[in-house]
């Protein structure tokens, strides 16, 4: 069950578009910075496969200049 | 259980968001997120939040101070600080209240005919300068001295060192960090040749096992302890409390192991024995990166005046070291340490397991130790033998207790043998300092003079006539206190004390200067993880209170050093910091520029090419590594760290039939050091109103003592009566007692012994023999 | 005859010896049967310190529990259920059987809490589940009438939301904690009174920030030194 957080940098002036596009994605939470051109993106998926799909979707967004992963966790299902 | 998985998930998600915010804060200084945490905090109309490092311990939490109409009225944790990530402890949250005690000193006081008379600052500073000049003229430059503190800001310590070492030409510069961090310093210097931890707090987020060596972190470093508890919830890490007394930390830990005082030396060797016996040694690491040495044993304990000691290191082979360890098999050590061979093997197995990342943490336990340097060395031995060092999560980590013990005392070098860069004994170091200080190189004396205990002994003997004490309270904290208190009262001694409140130390002063504290002035602190943090002046100091930096500058000017003390009042902190940075140029110790410190919650030195260094000696992270290998211990000439052969030796004063108990002293979460600030914070005073003596419940029962009863403690130095605490905050082992030292009405240091580590000269406040009886 | 006598006397001697030895071993056995109940654990337990961490294993669950606005308790009902603040609460509901120990009756609901449909409420969690003779201290209320009225003065209970020294600083603990060392049991979860429910139960080490300030008898005031220079 991977959970990953990223810093997303939009292309110049496209922060709002990026927020909208990201918010439209399932399993994806967006926290925009109030005063800088950067957003925090958290993906929370149930499997590696879903994780790969969302990664592709993220990379396909045109208003996104750069996506840097900050931390990733994988919680194994216990019991 | 399905629910527990989702819960874990939301927690992990929170953590993921937090780390992303921290990362964003380092890349975009001043970045703001409308996070949940921010929303909850009072947005109260006029509050203006400004960042500062916390005033209290060495963890160096980032705090935001809320200012309203020129007064500091609130505190919150700085969510952008990677140290505490928005959390503080009870002292931090109430820290601003320390500025508003009713008996704040606001005017200079000069003792005239046994009475203190209010004087103008100008007159008091004139008097100090003329008294210093007169003393130097009559008794020579080594008759004046300054005793500072790990609570000095970096500029305070820097101008003190410049004035005394550079201009006056005496090495009579010491700081209270001698009583708290000296063994950590000599531990680093003997093992690695360069001071301060190689790792950083982020190690907590990577390690799998934490071993706390005599360190009650739940009370003394609570914010870091909470980070460990967070990791336990998240990843199931193990916390092992290895101590002499049962505390809140033991209660929260996964395992608590109690050893007898002083036997940590034997246990550390036993762990090394097990590591070698079981083949857990990282052979290639030891061969490539380590030398093995032994030093002089039976060093004594420094109890006599003018005691001198110099170690003579001698190289030995791995076989010789192995032979030495034969005396420390767990079965042999079990007999002296009071812990089972099984527990020793248990700890060793974690250190030896190549798949476990392990962090050792310690503070006053190993430092306030008559073999403090040795036990520091021994902990490094364990990490060096297994190669578990300088990588994320593998970290021997020496914590500090004062906000700038690292920043001001260790980095600026306000100890008798130190210079901002290097030591006075080294000609090149003297030349560099003299050049930057703009003084003739002959001014800097190549011979160190007195360490702290010896400095007060010199005051007693009359070798020192003048002492200026700033930001510290030695009349509560010196061991074997009575001798040194009497010394200060002797005829012909002149004592100046700069402080913010009346304390037992101001009681013995001839001149009391009111100081501006913390955010009433501008300055920087340096915390345990090599992080330098800046704070601006946020409120005005009361009355005529003046920063310690400016007090020193004013006196320096009056003594005729205008050329060296050219600083302008409006910009002096910036000018001093920029001058100070020149001492540390180069990849091994470069300090971040002031603009960087102003824009973010601190930066870690070495600060190279616009980047903090998190793990030193590791080529992947540390640009100063230059040997082409994975690791480079560049503090030593051959680039190798040293594994030290250090034996177990008993404490100088062990319990006997007359004084059958061990006496240990320490702190509590509510009060910080001598309590001169925290006792004036009503919340903290009410939570912990006075000192006490903790007894083991069995001992208490035998003596028919219950909580609140008076107990008489007697040592060879004196006696005192304290209320008992049985089964309260902590429980000492049988035949041991514990007394916190914050209460100035119960000066436990009248009873402690002034024995010290011969290498570091740091006294041992944790062990002496005492008699306890119902009073 | 003499031979027979010798055998008999041998057996008599053996018998006497047997009785003596048996008797002795019985006596010593009785002595050893006393095992001192003194606590010989090498690591003592400090109730006020361990209590805080007791339910911390559930901290993450607590953090994620939904708030059921319709069935919340308030501080008022919480205090109303006690003779004075700090007194053991009475049992505000019917008790199934009068002859029962806690572990198989009360603790079923009060060990970990949960929603009780019958009572339309969440069961409060006990801070001391190890003490199973619940009704030693907690009694039901079977009638609302009194035998004779009382002049018992009711202590003023501490108020919520007024215990912080500074804006936004962590509130102090305004009550005694004996028997209630475990903070999470009353301050977290759906049964916690809404005024005192903690927003951050995952921060296990409660007393890192919240210290006890409960000197109710007389205010000890602020520390000020005797020695003033004026």
Q: Where are the domains of chain B?
A: 2-99, 108-180+404-566, 183-305+312-399, 661-774
Active site residue B730: no
CA dist B553 and B433 (Å) reads 18
pLDDT tens-digit map of B73-128: 999 899 889 999 889 999 999 999 999 999 999 999 999 998 999 999 999 999 99
Active site residue B322: no
Span C62-69, average pLDDT: 83
A9: chain B residues, CB-CB within 8 Å: none
CA dist B412 and B168 (Å) reads 18
| CB within 8 Å of C142: residues ≥ 6 apart | none
Report A:49-68 residues touching B (Cβ under 8 A).
Answer: none
Question: Average pLDDT, whole number, for chain B?
Answer: 93
CA dist C157 and B328 (Å) reads 59
pLDDT of res. C69: 86
Domain that holds residue A33: 2-62
Instruction: Report helix, strand or coil for B351.
Output: helix
Active site residue B181: yes
A6: chain B residues, CB-CB within 8 Å: 20
- The residue in chain A having the minimum alpha-carbon distance to the alpha carbon of residue B20 is A70
* Domain B661-774 CATH (choose: 2.60.40.740, 2.40.40.20, 1.10.3720.10, 3.90.1150.10): 2.40.40.20
Chain B nearest CA to C112, separation (Å): 14
Query: Domain total for chain A?
Result: 1
Contact with chain B for residue A77, Cβ under 8 A = yes
Asked if the structure places residue A67 within a domain, the reply is no
Give the highest mean pLDDT range of A42-56, B41-55, B654-668, C110-124. Answer: B654-668
pLDDT of res. A42: 86
- The residue in chain A having the minimum alpha-carbon distance to the alpha carbon of residue B8 is A75
pLDDT of res. C39: 58
Q: Flag whether pLDDT at B156 surpasses 80.
A: yes
Q: What is the dihedral of CA B265, B269, B270, B275, to 10 degrees?
A: 150
Angle among Cα B689, B770, B649 to the nearest 5 degrees reads: 120
Tell me, letter by letter, the H, E, C secondary structure of B265-295: HHHHHHHHHHHHHCCCCCHHHHHHHEEEEEC
Asked whether at least 3 C-beta pairs link C and A within 8 Å, the reply is: no
CA dist B229 and B251 (Å) reads 12
C47: chain B residues, CB-CB within 8 Å: 727
CA dist B99 and B540 (Å) reads 11
pLDDT of res. C36: 66
From B713, B704, B711, select the one nearest B769 (Cα to Cα): B713
CATH number of B183-305+312-399: 3.40.228.10
> Is B24 in contact with A7 (Cβ distance < 8 A)?
yes
B685: chain C residues, CB-CB within 8 Å: 220, 222-223
Q: Flag whether pLDDT at B581 surpasses 90.
A: yes
Say which residue, B346 or C36, is predicted with more confidence: B346
B604: enclosing H helix or E strand: strand B603-604
How is residue B155 written in tokens? 């500029």
B66: chain C residues, CB-CB within 8 Å: 167-168
pLDDT tens-digit map of B269-325: 999 999 999 999 999 999 999 999 999 999 999 999 889 999 999 999 999 999 999
CATH of the domain at A50: 3.30.70
Give which of B13, B17, B20 to mutate to test A binding, by max A Cβ within 10 Å. B20
pLDDT of res. C229: 66
Say which residue, C119 or B643, is predicted with more confidence: B643
pLDDT tens-digit map of B405-419: 999 999 999 999 999
> Is A40 in contact with B8 (Cβ distance < 8 A)?
no
Contact with chain B for residue A79, Cβ under 8 A = yes
pLDDT tens-digit map of B683-741: 899 889 999 999 999 999 999 999 999 999 999 999 999 999 999 899 999 999 999 99
The torsion angles phi and psi of B63, rounded to 5 degrees, stand at: -125, 155
Span C202-206, average pLDDT: 88
CA dist B530 and B406 (Å) reads 7
How is residue C37 written in tokens? 């109940």
- The yes or no reply on domain B108-180+404-566 and CATH 3.40.50.2300 is no
Contact with chain B for residue C98, Cβ under 8 A = no
B28: chain A residues, CB-CB within 8 Å: 33, 36, 38
Asked if the structure places residue A8 within a domain, the reply is yes
Contact with chain B for residue C226, Cβ under 8 A = no
- The residue in chain B having the minimum alpha-carbon distance to the alpha carbon of residue A1 is B9
B76: chain C residues, CB-CB within 8 Å: 168
Report B:213-242 residues touching A (Cβ under 8 A).
Answer: 234
User: A27 falls in which pLDDT band (50, 70, 90)?
Assistant: confident
Active site residue B27: no
Say if residues B584 and B590 touch (Cβ distance below 8 Å): yes
From C227, A62, A49, C109, select the one nearest B508 (Cα to Cα): C227
CA dist B23 and A70 (Å) reads 7
pLDDT tens-digit map of C17-39: 999 999 998 887 776 666 666 65
Active site residue B332: no
CA dist B550 and B42 (Å) reads 36
pLDDT of res. B538: 95
Give which of C64, C114, C168, C171 to mutate to test B binding, by max B Cβ within 10 Å. C168
The torsion angles phi and psi of B219, rounded to 5 degrees, stand at: -105, -35
pLDDT of res. B40: 45
The torsion angles phi and psi of B36, rounded to 5 degrees, stand at: -60, -40
Q: Flag whether pLDDT at B4 surpasses 50.
A: no
Asked if the structure places residue A7 within a domain, the reply is yes
Asked if the structure places residue A36 within a domain, the reply is yes
Contact with chain B for residue A30, Cβ under 8 A = no
Span A48-73, average pLDDT: 83
Span B132-141, average pLDDT: 96
pLDDT of res. B15: 78
Say if residues B633 and B190 touch (Cβ distance below 8 Å): no
The torsion angles phi and psi of B523, rounded to 5 degrees, stand at: 180, -170
pLDDT tens-digit map of B694-710: 999 999 999 999 999 99
Give which of B25, B32, B33 to mutate to test A binding, by max A Cβ within 10 Å. B33
Per DSSP, the residues of B511-550 read EEEEB--GGGS-EEEE-TTSEEEEE---SPPSTT-B-HHH
B15: chain A residues, CB-CB within 8 Å: 71, 73
Contact with chain B for residue A75, Cβ under 8 A = yes
Asked if the structure places residue A25 within a domain, the reply is yes
User: A76 falls in which pLDDT band (50, 70, 90)?
Assistant: low
B34: chain A residues, CB-CB within 8 Å: 31, 34
Span C173-197, average pLDDT: 90
Contact with chain C for residue B507, Cβ under 8 A = yes
Give which of C44, C53, C201 to mutate to test B binding, by max B Cβ within 10 Å. C44
Report C:33-92 residues touching B (Cβ under 8 A).
Answer: 38-39, 42-50, 52-53, 56, 59-61, 63-64
A6: enclosing H helix or E strand: strand A2-10
By Cβ distance, the residue of B17, B31, B33 closest to A42 is: B17
CA dist A33 and A43 (Å) reads 17
Q: What is the dihedral of CA B513, B514, B518, B520, to 10 degrees?
A: -130
Chain B nearest CA to C20, separation (Å): 38
Contact with chain A for residue B11, Cβ under 8 A = no
B30: chain A residues, CB-CB within 8 Å: 35-36
Say if residues A41 and A67 touch (Cβ distance below 8 Å): yes
From B720, B631, B47, B711, select the one nearest B384 (Cα to Cα): B631
Neighbours of chain A (3+ CB pairs under 8 A): B
pLDDT of res. B1: 31
DSSP tag of B179: G
Active site residue B364: yes
Contact with chain B for residue A12, Cβ under 8 A = no
What CATH fold (topology level) applies to the domain B2-99? N-terminal domain of TfIIb (2.20.25)
Q: Flag whether pLDDT at C3 surpasses 90.
A: no
> Is A40 in contact with B34 (Cβ distance < 8 A)?
no
How is residue B350 written in tokens? 């974690």
From B486, B494, B493, select the one nearest B512 (Cα to Cα): B494
Per DSSP, what are the bridge partners of residue B694?
B725, B738
pLDDT tens-digit map of B499-527: 999 999 999 999 999 999 999 999 999 99
Contact with chain C for residue B84, Cβ under 8 A = no
Interface contacts B/C by beta carbons within 8 Å: 166
Say if residues B325 and B385 touch (Cβ distance below 8 Å): no
| CB within 8 Å of C2: residues ≥ 6 apart | none
């Amino acid at each position: 069950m991977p959970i990953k957080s990223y810093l997303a940098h939009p292309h110049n002036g496209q922060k709002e578009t990026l927020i909208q596009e990201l918010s439209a994605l399932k399993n994806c939470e967006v926290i925009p910075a109030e005063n800088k051109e950067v957003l925090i993106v958290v993906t929370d998926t149930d499997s590696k496969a879903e994780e790969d799909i969302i990664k592709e979707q993220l990379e396909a967004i045109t208003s996104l200049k750069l996506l840097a992963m900050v931390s990733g966790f994988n919680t194994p299902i216990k019991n | 259980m399905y629910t527990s998985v989702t819960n874990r998930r939301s927690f992990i998600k929170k953590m993921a968001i937090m780390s992303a915010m921290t990362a964003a804060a380092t890349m975009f200084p001043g970045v703001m997120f409308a996070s949940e945490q921010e929303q909850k905090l009072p947005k109260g109309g006029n509050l203006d939040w400004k960042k500062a490092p916390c005033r209290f311990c060495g963890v160096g939490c980032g705090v935001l101070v809320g200012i309203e109409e020129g007064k500091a009225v609130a505190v919150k944790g700085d969510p952008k600080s990677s140290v505490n990530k928005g959390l503080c402890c009870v002292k931090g949250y109430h820290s601003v209240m320390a500025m508003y005690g009713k008996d704040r000193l606001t005017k200079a006081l000069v003792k005239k005919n046994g009475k203190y008379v209010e004087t103008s600052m100008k007159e008091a500073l004139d008097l100090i300068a003329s008294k210093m000049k007169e003393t130097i003229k009559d008794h020579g430059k080594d008759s004046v001295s300054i005793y500072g503190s790990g609570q000095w800001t970096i500029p305070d310590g820097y101008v003190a060192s410049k004035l005394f070492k550079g201009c006056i030409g005496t090495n009579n510069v010491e700081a209270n960090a001698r009583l708290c961090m000296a063994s950590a310093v000599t531990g680093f210097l003997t093992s690695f040749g360069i001071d301060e931890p190689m790792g950083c707090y982020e190690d907590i987020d990577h390690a799998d096992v934490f071993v706390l060596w005599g360190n009650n972190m739940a009370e003394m470093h609570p914010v870091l302890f909470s980070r460990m508890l967070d990791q336990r919830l998240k990843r199931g890490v193990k916390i092992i409390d290895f101590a002499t007394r049962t505390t809140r930390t033991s209660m929260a830990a996964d395992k608590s192991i109690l050893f007898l005082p002083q036997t940590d030396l034997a246990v550390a060797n036993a762990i090394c024995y097990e590591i070698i016996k079981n083949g857990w040694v990282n052979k290639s690491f030891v061969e490539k990166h380590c030398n093995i040495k032994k030093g002089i044993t039976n060093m004594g304990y420094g109890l006599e005046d003018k005691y001198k000691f110099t170690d003579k290191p001698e190289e030995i082979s791995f076989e010789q070291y192995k032979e030495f360890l034969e005396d420390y098999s767990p079965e042999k050590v079990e007999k002296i340490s009071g812990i089972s061979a099984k527990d020793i093997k248990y700890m060793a197995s974690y250190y030896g397991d190549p798949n476990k990342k392990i962090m050792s943490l310690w503070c006053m336990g190993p430092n306030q130790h008559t073999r403090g340097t040795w036990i520091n060395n021994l902990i490094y031995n364990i990490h060096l033998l297994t190669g578990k060092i300088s990588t994320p999560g593998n970290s021997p980590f020496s914590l500090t207790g004062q906000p700038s013990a690292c920043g001001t005392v260790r980095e600026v070098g306000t100890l008798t043998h130190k210079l901002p860069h290097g030591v006075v004994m080294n000609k090149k170091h003297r030349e560099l300092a003299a050049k930057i200080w703009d003084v003739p190189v002959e001014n800097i004396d190549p011979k160190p003079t007195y360490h702290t205990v010896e400095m007060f002994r010199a005051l007693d003997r009359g070798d020192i006539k003048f002492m200026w004490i700033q930001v510290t309270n030695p009349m509560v904290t010196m061991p074997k206190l009575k001798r040194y208190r009497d010394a200060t009262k002797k005829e012909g001694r002149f004592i100046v004390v700069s402080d913010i409140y009346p304390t037992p130390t101001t009681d013995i002063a001839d001149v009391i200067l009111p100081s501006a504290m913390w955010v009433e002035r501008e300055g920087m602190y340096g915390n345990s993880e090599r992080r330098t943090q800046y704070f601006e002046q946020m409120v005005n100091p009361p009355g005529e209170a003046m920063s310690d930096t400016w007090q020193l500058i004013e006196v320096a000017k009056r003594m005729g050093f205008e050329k060296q003390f050219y600083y302008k009042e409006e910009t002096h902190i910036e000018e001093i910091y920029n001058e100070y940075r020149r001492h540390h140029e180069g990849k091994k110790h470069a300090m971040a520029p002031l603009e960087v410190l102003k824009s973010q919650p601190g930066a870690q030195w070495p600060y190279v090419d616009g980047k903090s260094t998190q793990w030193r000696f590791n080529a992947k992270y540390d640009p100063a590594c230059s040997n082409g290998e994975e690791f480079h211990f560049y503090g030593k000439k051959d680039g190798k760290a040293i594994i030290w052969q250090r034996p177990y030796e008993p404490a100088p004063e062990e319990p006997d039939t007359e004084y059958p108990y061990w006496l240990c002293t320490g702190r509590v979460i509510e009060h910080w050091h001598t309590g001169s600030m925290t006792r004036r914070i009503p919340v903290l005073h009410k939570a912990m109103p006075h000192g006490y003596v903790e007894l083991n419940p069995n001992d208490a029962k035998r003596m028919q003592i219950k909580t609140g009863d008076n107990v008489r403690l007697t040592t060879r130095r004196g006696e005192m009566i304290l209320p008992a605490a049985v089964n309260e905050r902590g429980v000492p082992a049988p035949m041991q007692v514990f007394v916190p030292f914050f209460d100035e009405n119960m000066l436990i240091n009248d009873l402690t012994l002034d024995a010290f580590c011969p290498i570091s000269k740091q006294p041992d406040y944790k062990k002496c023999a005492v008699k306890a009886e119902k009073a | 005859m003499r031979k027979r006598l010798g055998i008999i006397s041998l057996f008599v001697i053996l018998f006497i010896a047997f009785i003596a030895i048996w008797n002795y071993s019985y006596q010593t056995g009785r002595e050893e049967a006393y095992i001192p109940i003194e606590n010989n654990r090498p690591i003592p337990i400090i109730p006020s310190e361990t209590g805080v961490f007791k339910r911390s294993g559930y901290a993450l669950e607590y953090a994620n529990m939904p708030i059921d606005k319709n069935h919340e308790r308030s501080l008022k009902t919480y205090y109303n259920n006690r003779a004075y603040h700090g007194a053991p609460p009475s049992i505000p509901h019917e008790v199934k059987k009068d002859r029962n120990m806690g572990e198989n009756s009360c603790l079923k609901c009060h060990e970990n809490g949960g929603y009780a449909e019958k009572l339309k409420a969440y069961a409060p969690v006990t801070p001391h589940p190890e003490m199973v003779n619940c009704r030693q201290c907690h009694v039901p209320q079977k009638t609302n009438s009194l035998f004779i009225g009382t002049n018992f003065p009711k202590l003023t209970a501490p108020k919520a939301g007024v215990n912080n020294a500074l804006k936004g600083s962590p509130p102090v603990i305004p009550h005694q904690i004996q028997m209630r060392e475990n903070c999470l049991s009353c301050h977290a979860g759906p049964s916690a009174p809404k005024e005192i429910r903690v927003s951050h139960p995952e921060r296990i080490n409660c007393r890192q920030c919240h210290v006890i300030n409960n000197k109710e008898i007389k205010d000890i005031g602020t520390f000020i030194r005797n020695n003033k220079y004026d």
